[in-house]
């Protein structure tokens, strides 16, 4: 198998994620592991909105991390499904490289939609506006329905090419404050708190529209 492209190490590139542990990304799976991996993949789409993508997205149907990337339990580790899919096709990738989704669909594991990039490139791309599709192609709202647009974006996430809900992040820190004082917010309380932050950030009418 051809080795993945190697770029000179650039210490000025900030790592926003824990480095990928190469041990979690074998170039080959046993037949059984391979069966378990691919049974979690739905190759039937959706079609990516981006023109430079060949074929449909291959959707990871099993567990995902918060950011929307698929996770696969393998040999005691938890590799990212898309990165593993890329390594299985193309061979090992240096841990200084991230695997970027050309299709902008983080749950996609189609190797044709993936390419290794430096953090810097990934961040630049992440800053480009995402196109909102009918499907999961772009994350436009957080799980609580808050719009993922400025100013409701965590500054740290924007810097690193991700899109996290600022309102929910503030509610989470509130949750931990309360927890330290022995008070546990239930999900309804959490929603009320995060909605309150959302109105504070986006304006009082922010949640009124249907």
Contacts to Zn ion by CB under 5 A: 48, 57, 103, 105, 108, 110, 113, 142, 144, 146, 165, 167-168
| Of 93 and 99, CB closest to Zn ion | 99
| Of 74 and 138, CB closest to Zn ion | 138
Shortest Å, Cβ 32 to Zn ion: 26
Shortest Å, Cβ 88 to Zn ion: 16
Asked if 132 and 140 touch (Cβ cutoff 8 Å), the reply is: yes
Shortest Å, Cβ 26 to Zn ion: 23
| Of 142 and 202, CB closest to Zn ion | 142
| Of 7 and 138, CB closest to Zn ion | 138
Shortest Å, Cβ 186 to Zn ion: 17
């Amino acid at each position: 198998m051809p080795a993945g492209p190697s770029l000179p190490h650039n210490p000025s590139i900030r790592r926003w994620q824990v480095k990928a542990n190469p041990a979690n990304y074998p170039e080959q799976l046993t037949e059984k592991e391979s069966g378990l991996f691919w049974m979690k993949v739905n190759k039937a789409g959706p079609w990516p909105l981006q023109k430079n993508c060949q074929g449909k997205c291959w959707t990871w149907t099993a567990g995902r991390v918060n950011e929307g990337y698929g996770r696969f339990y393998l040999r005691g580790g938890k590799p990212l499904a898309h990165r593993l899919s890329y390594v299985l096709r193309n061979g090992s990738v240096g841990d200084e490289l991230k695997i970027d989704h050309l299709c902008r669909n983080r749950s996609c594991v189609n190797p044709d939609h993936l390419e290794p990039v430096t953090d810097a490139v990934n961040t630049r791309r992440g800053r480009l506006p995402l196109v909102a599709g009918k499907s999961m192609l772009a994350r436009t709202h957080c799980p609580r329905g808050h719009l993922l647009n400025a100013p409701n974006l965590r500054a740290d996430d924007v810097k690193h090419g991700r899109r996290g809900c600022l309102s929910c992040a503030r509610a989470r820190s509130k949750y931990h404050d309360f927890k330290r004082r022995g008070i546990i917010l239930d999900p309804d309380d959490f929603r009320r708190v995060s909605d309150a932050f959302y109105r504070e950030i986006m304006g009082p009418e922010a949640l009124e529209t249907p």
